[in-house]
Amino acid sequence: MPSVSKWRVAAAAGVLAVLAALGSQLLPIYLDNMKLQQFVEETARQPDSSELSDLALQAAVLKKAATLGLPVRRSNVQVERSAGGLRIDVRYVVRVDLPFYTVDLHFYPGAGSR
């Protein structure tokens, strides 16, 4: 039976290695999305933001996304104004090429009031 336990240990180590490799590819993208989400929340919450034009708000979001290396375009950033306040929504897709598989991760950071 010692060979069976060695096989299980090797299989477990292989599974952990695959999960670590996936995590190293995906985690930075999710962390960058969280940073963009925080930026959008802060921007929408600031009282001065309601005085800025839609283009200025879009430019601020685009600049932050570019510093994070996220593929956000002007058409991905929507600014809505209402009597209740300001809402900023961002929709973008990050394509991740993994060995033997390609996945599109869809992100929807947004903040404000409707």
Q: What is the tens place of the pLDDT at every residue in 71-110?
A: 999 999 999 998 878 999 999 999 999 888 899 999 999 9
> Residue 88: what pLDDT?
96
Tell me the one-letter amino acid at 88. Answer: I
Q: What angle do CA 71, 28, 76 make, to 5 degrees?
A: 20
Query: What does DSSP assign to residue 61?
Result: H
The whole domain housing 69 covers 28-112
Report in angstroms the alpha-carbon separations of 66 from 17, 59, 69: 31, 10, 5
Answer whether residue 11 is part of any domain: no
Is 23 a member of any domain? no
Residue 1 lies in a domain: no
| Residue 44 domain-assigned (yes or no) | yes
CA atoms of 15 and 12, how far apart (whole Å): 5
Structural domains counted in the chain? 1
Indicate the pTM of the whole model. Answer: 0.83
Q: Is residue 3 part of a domain?
A: no
Query: Between 58 and 12, where is the model more confident?
Result: 58
Helix (H) / strand (E) containing 9? helix 2-45
Q: Is 100 exposed, middle or buried (0-12, 13-18, 19+ CB in 10 A)?
A: exposed
